[in-house]
C-alpha cells in the first residue's frame, strides 16, 4: 500500500536536493497530501531534455463538488471530463513560466481538438476527480533548480487545480451546456438507425473550416449556415437542446453533386467527422453520422496483405490471385478496393467517398471506354456496379461526392445538390435528366458480390522490439505509429483526428496480440480489445498511468494494423 506523505515532506526533499545533479529528482517520487488534493509523482524524467515527468492530482469528491448528474452517464461524463481538460489546458497556458534547461517549468495536459473524446487526461468517479499532467522539472544546466520546483508544486500546480478541477471555478451554465451537447449528440447518433438514416446535419450548422490546416470553424461574415431542403427535414427531440431540425440522409446510395467550390466536399467532411461529437461553438455540434461510417479513398503505395479484392478486381495480368491479394506498393484502384474490403471486414455500415480522392478507373468506366476496351481486357469492376449491391445485400450505405460522372444518377436513391453552400434536393430532376439522356452504359458485374473470406492475423508478425528495447511504440503526430523498427503510415486514415488516438492505437496493436490465437478473425480480435477498453478503460493499454490517450474505434485499430508493412496473415 502506497504511503501518502505530508506535502511538507516534498518541500523538504526539494530543498535537500537543490543544486545537486539531476538524477536526485528521483527522490521525489511518491504521493503527497496537499490541502485540497493528493499529488502523485509517478514518473521522474532522467534529465531536463527527456520527456517530462508524469504526475496526477487526486481531488476528493467533496472538494471537487461535482454533482452526480454531471457524470452519471457515459456521454455526460465524457463531456464533463472534456470540459475540465480544456479548463486545465487554458489555465496552464495563461500561467506558462518556462525557464532553465530543456523542458524546465513546463506544466501541460493532453490538449483536445474540436472533438469531445474519452481521454485519460481527466476522469471522474464516486471518489472524485483525477487529473493527469506532465511537469518539466526545472534545472540549471543539469543541476536541480529546487526552489523553482518548489514553486511549481506549491504555487503553480495548486493554482491550476483550483482554476480547473473544482466546481466553484466554473460557470455552471457553460459547464452544463458542454455536458448537454455531449449527451444530445450521442442520443442523436443513436436515433439514426431507428429512423433509417445514416447522418443528420442540423439546421444552422456551420460546416466550413477556418483553413485546410485548421479544424476550427470559419468565422467570416459571409459563411452560409446550413439549411435543410424541406423534403429531407427531420425533427429529433433531445434532452438538453430540445427539438432539433435538420437534414436526415436516408440509408442507401446518396450523391452530393454541384459545381466546384460550392461545398460538396465540405458537407462530406462534416458527415465523415460526425462519428465524433464536437464542442459547443464548433458549428458541427449537432452533425452526427452512423458510428460505423468510414471515409474511403485511394491510397497509392500502401501495403496490402492477403485481402480479397475479387468483388472489384479479377483477372490481373500475370495471374495474380485477387481473392488473397498482397502488394508492397498498391495502385490507386487496388488500394481503394482493399480499403473497402477491409472496412467491410471491420463492420463498416457507411462509406463516405469523394471523387477527388478516388481512383477514377475504380469509380467509373463510361460507355465510350467500354466500347474501346472490352470487359475481358479490363480487370476492374467499378464501384458504380457494386454500390447498390453493397446496400441491398450488406446494408452498407454510400454517400458519394460526384461532380463529373452523370452515370451515378442511375444508381442513386437520394441526390443532394450544393449551390453556393446552399442545399437542394434534386433527386426527381436528376431522374428526369437520366431518362432524357441515357448513357447506354452496361453494368460490368458478371456475378454476385462474393462472400469474402475473413482473415486471421499471424501474431508472429507483430514485434515492437528495437535494439535492446523489447517494446518501442510511439506516435509521431497523428499520422504515424512507430512500432518497433517499422513505421505505420496512417496519414490516409482521415478519421484519426488526434495524436492521442494514434498513441493509444499503437499500444492497442500490441495489446491485441494476446487475442491472436490462430483462430480469432481480425474483426473478433478488434472486438475483444474494444470490449476490454469499454469495461476497464484506456488504462489497460499500458502498465503506466498515462494521461495522453484518447479513444478510438475498432475500425481505426484495424486500419492501422492493415497498414503494417510486417503484417502476415494465416
Asked which of 453, 472, 487 is the last residue of a domain, the reply is 453
Q: Final residue of a domain: which of 141, 170, 199?
A: 170
Residues 466 and 447 in one domain: no
Residue 72 shares a structural domain with residue 113: yes
Same domain, yes or no: 110 and 212:
no
253 exposed, middle or buried (CB, 10 Å; 0-12, 13-18, 19+)?
Answer: buried
Give the separation between CA 314 and CA 322, rounded to whole angstroms. 6
For residues 439 and 470, state if they share a domain.
no
Q: How far apart are CA 91 and CA 164, in angstroms?
A: 7
Q: In terms of domains, do 287 and 418 share one?
A: yes
Residues 191 and 278 placed together within one structural domain of the fold: yes
DSSP-derived secondary structure letter, 464: -
pLDDT in tens, 528-552: 999 999 999 999 999 999 999 999 9
3-state secondary structure of 126: coil
DSSP 377: G
User: Read out DSSP for 61-88?
Assistant: HHHH---GGGTSSHHHHHHHHHHHHHHH
Compute the distance between CA of residue 401 and CA of residue 404 in angstroms, rounded to an integer. Answer: 10
Q: Considering its fold, how many domains does the chain have in total?
A: 3
Indicate the SS3 state at residue 181. Answer: helix
Q: Estimate the crossing angle of helix 332-346 against helix 554-562, to 10 degrees.
A: 140
Interior CA angle at 339 toward 451 and 264, to 5°? 120
**Neighbouring C-beta atoms of residue 373, cutoff 10 Å:** 11
Whether 28 and 92 share a structural domain: yes
**Which CATH number is 317's domain given?**
3.40.50
Q: Of 425, 453, 481, which closes a domain?
A: 453
Q: Which cell goes with 156?
A: 503553480
Instruction: Identify whether residues 375 and 238 lie together within a single domain.
Output: yes
- 134 and 230 inside one domain: no
- Segments forming the whole domain that contains residue 159: 4-170
pLDDT at 220: 86
- Spatial distance between the Cα atoms of 457 and 525, rounded to a whole number of angstroms: 9
State how far the alpha carbon of 442 is from the alpha carbons of 144, 367, 368, 370, 386, in Å. 76, 7, 11, 8, 13
Same structural domain, 153 and 57: yes
pTM: 0.96
24 neighbors 137 (Cβ within 8 angstroms): no
For residue 568, is it within any domain? no
**569 assigned to some structural domain:** no
Residue 47 is given by DSSP the state: S
* Alpha carbon distances (Å) from 558 to 74, 79, 295, 490, 526: 24, 27, 14, 11, 7
496 assigned to some structural domain? yes
Hey, how many other C-beta atoms are within 10 angstroms of the C-beta on 56? Answer: 18
Mark the ranges of the chain whose per-residue pLDDT is less than 70.
1, 95-96, 98
Amino acid at each position: 500500500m502506497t504511503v501518502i506523505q505530508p506535502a511538507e515532506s516534498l518541500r523538504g526533499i526539494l530543498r535537500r536536493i537543490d543544486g545537486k545533479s539531476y538524477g536526485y529528482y528521483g527522490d521525489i517520487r511518491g504521493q503527497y497530501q496537499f490541502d485540497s488534493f493528493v499529488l502523485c509523482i509517478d514518473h521522474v524524467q532522467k534529465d531536463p531534455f527527456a520527456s517530462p515527468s508524469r504526475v496526477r492530482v487526486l481531488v476528493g469528491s467533496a472538494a471537487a463538488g461535482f454533482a452526480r448528474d454531471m457524470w452519471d452517464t457515459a456521454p455526460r461524463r465524457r463531456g464533463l471530463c472534456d470540459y475540465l481538460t480544456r479548463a486545465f489546458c487554458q489555465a496552464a497556458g495563461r500561467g506558462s513560466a518556462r525557464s532553465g534547461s530543456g523542458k524546465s517549468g513546463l506544466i501541460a495536459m493532453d490538449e483536445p481538438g474540436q472533438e469531445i473524446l474519452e481521454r485519460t487526461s481527466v476522469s471522474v468517479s464516486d471518489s472524485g476527480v483525477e487529473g493527469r499532467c506532465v511537469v518539466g522539472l526545472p534545472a540549471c544546466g543539469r543541476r536541480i533548480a529546487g526552489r523553482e520546483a518548489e514553486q511549481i508544486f506549491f504555487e503553480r500546480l495548486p493554482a491550476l487545480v483550483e482554476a480547473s478541477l473544482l466546481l466553484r471555478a466554473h460557470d455552471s451554465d457553460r459547464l452544463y451546456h458542454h455536458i448537454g451537447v455531449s449527451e444530445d449528440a450521442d442520443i442523436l447518433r443513436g436515433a439514426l438507425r431507428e429512423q433509417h438514416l445514416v447522418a443528420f446535419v442540423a439546421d444552422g450548422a456551420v460546416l466550413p473550416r477556418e483553413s485546410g490546416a485548421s479544424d476550427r470553424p470559419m468565422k467570416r461574415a459571409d459563411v452560409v449556415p446550413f439549411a435543410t431542403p424541406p423534403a429531407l427535414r427531420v425533427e429529433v427531440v433531445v434532452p438538453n437542446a430540445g427539438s432539433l431540425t435538420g437534414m436526415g440522409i436516408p440509408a442507401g446510395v446518396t450523391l452530393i453533386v454541384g459545381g466546384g467550390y460550392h461545398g460538396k466536399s465540405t458537407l462530406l467532411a462534416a458527415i465523415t467527422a460526425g462519428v465524433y461529437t464536437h464542442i459547443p461553438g464548433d458549428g458541427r455540434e449537432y452533425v452526427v453520422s452512423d458510428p460505423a461510417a468510414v471515409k474511403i479513398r485511394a491510397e497509392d503505395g500502401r501495403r496490402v496483405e492477403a485481402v480479397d479484392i475479387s468483388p472489384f478486381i479479377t483477372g490481373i495480368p500475370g495471374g495474380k490471385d485477387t481473392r488473397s491479394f498482397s502488394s508492397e506498393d498498391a495502385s490507386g484502384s487496388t488500394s481503394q478496393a482493399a480499403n473497402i474490403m477491409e472496412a467491410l471486414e471491420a463492420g463498416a455500415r457507411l462509406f463516405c467517398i469523394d471523387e477527388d480522392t478516388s481512383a477514377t478507373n475504380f469509380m467509373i468506366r463510361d460507355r465510350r471506354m467500354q466500347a474501346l476496351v472490352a470487359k475481358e481486357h479490363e480487370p476492374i469492376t467499378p464501384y458504380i456496379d457494386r454500390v447498390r449491391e453493397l446496400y441491398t445485400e450488406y446494408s452498407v450505405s454510400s454517400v458519394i461526392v460526384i461532380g463529373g460522372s452523370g452515370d451515378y444518377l442511375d444508381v442513386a436513391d437520394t441526390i443532394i445538390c450544393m449551390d453556393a453552400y446552399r442545399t437542394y434536393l434534386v433527386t426527381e430532376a436528376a431522374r428526369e435528366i437520366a431518362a432524357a439522356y441515357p448513357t447506354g452504359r452496361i453494368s460490368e458485374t458478371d456475378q454476385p458480390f462474393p462472400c469474402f473470406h475473413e482473415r486471421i492475423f499471424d501474431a508472429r508478425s507483430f514485434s515492437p522490439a528495437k535494439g535492446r528495447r523489447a517494446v518501442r511504440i510511439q506516435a509521431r503526430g497523428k499520422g504515424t505509429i512507430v512500432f518497433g523498427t517499422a513505421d505505420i503510415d496512417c496519414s490516409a486514415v482521415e478519421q484519426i483526428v488526434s495524436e492521442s488516438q494514434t498513441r493509444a492505437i499503437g499500444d492497442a496493436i500490441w495489446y491485441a496480440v494476446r487475442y491472436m490465437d490462430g483462430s480469432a478473425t481480425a474483426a473478433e480480435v478488434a472486438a475483444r480489445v474494444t470490449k476490454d477498453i469499454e469495461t476497464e478503460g484506456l488504462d489497460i493499454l499500458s502498465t503506466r498511468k498515462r494521461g495522453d490517450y484518447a479513444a478510438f474505434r475498432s475500425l481505426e485499430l484495424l486500419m492501422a494494423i492493415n497498414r503494417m508493412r510486417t503484417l502476415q496473415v494465416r
